[in-house]
Structure 1
Amino acid sequence: MTRLFTENVNVGYGDKTIVKDLHVEIPDQQITTIIGSNGCGKSTLLKAMTRIHSHQSGSIILDGESITQQNTKELARKLAILPQNPEGASGLTVGELVSYGRFPYQKGFGRLTKRDMEVIEWALDVTGTTEFKYQAVDSLSGGQRQRVWIAMSLAQETDMIFLDEPTTYLDMAHQLEVLELLQKLNQEEGRTIVMVLHDLNQAARFADYIVAMKDGEIVKAGSPEDVIQRDVLRDVFSIDADIGRDPRTDKPMCVTYNLWKGEQQNEEDSNHTASYASACS
Structure 2
Amino acid sequence: MGRLFTNNLNIGYGEQIIVNDLSVSIPDKQITTIIGSNGCGKSTLLKAITRIINHHSGNVLLDGKDILKENTKALAKKMAILPQSPESASGLTVGELVSYGRFPYQKGFGRLTKKDLEVIDWALDVTGTFDYKFRPVDALSGGQRQRVWIAMALAQETDIIFLDEPTTYLDMAHQLEVLELLQTLNIEQQRTIIMVLHDLNQAARFADYLIAMKDGKIVKAGNCEEVMNHQVLKKVFQIDAEIGRDPRTNKPMCITYNLLKGENKHEENSIPSHFALSAHS
TM-score under structure 1 length normalisation: 0.93
Q: Which amino acid aligns with 1:194?
A: I
Matches of 2:49 and 2:16, distance apart in 1: 18
Equivalent residue number for residue 114 of structure 2: 114
Equivalent residue number for residue 52 of structure 2: 52
SS of equivalent residue, structure 1 residue 98: helix
CA distances 1:120-178 after superposition (whole Å, capped 9, x unpaired): 00000000000100000011000000000000000000000000000000000000000
Q: Which runs of 5+ in 1 are unaligned?
A: 266-281
Matches of 2:155 and 2:170, distance apart in 1: 23
1:210 and 2:210 equivalent?
A: yes
Equivalent residue number for residue 70 of structure 1: 70
Structure 1 runs (4+) greater than 3 angstroms displaced: 262-265
1:103 and 2:120 equivalent?
A: no
CA shift for structure 1 position 88 = 3.1
SS of equivalent residue, structure 2 residue 23: strand
Aligned length: 265
CA shift for structure 1 position 262 = 5.3
Matches of 2:49 and 2:23, distance apart in 1: 12
Matches of 2:83 and 2:47, distance apart in 1: 9
Equivalent residue number for residue 220 of structure 1: 220
Matches of 2:234 and 2:109, distance apart in 1: 55
1:38 and 2:33 equivalent?
A: no
SS of equivalent residue, structure 1 residue 9: strand
Q: Which amino acid aligns with 1:200?
A: L
Q: Which amino acid aligns with 2:164?
A: D
Q: Which runs of 5+ in 2 are unaligned?
A: 266-281
Equivalent residue number for residue 278 of structure 1: none
Equivalent residue number for residue 171 of structure 1: 171
1:129 and 2:129 equivalent?
A: yes
1:80 and 2:52 equivalent?
A: no
Bigger Rg over Cα? 1
SS of equivalent residue, structure 1 residue 33: strand
Which protein has the bigger helix share?
Answer: 1
SS of equivalent residue, structure 2 residue 80: strand
TM-score under structure 2 length normalisation: 0.93
Q: Which amino acid aligns with 2:51?
A: R
SS of equivalent residue, structure 1 residue 89: coil
Q: Which amino acid aligns with 1:183?
A: Q
Equivalent residue number for residue 273 of structure 1: none
Matches of 2:59 and 2:79, distance apart in 1: 17
Matches of 1:208 and 1:241, distance apart in 2: 21
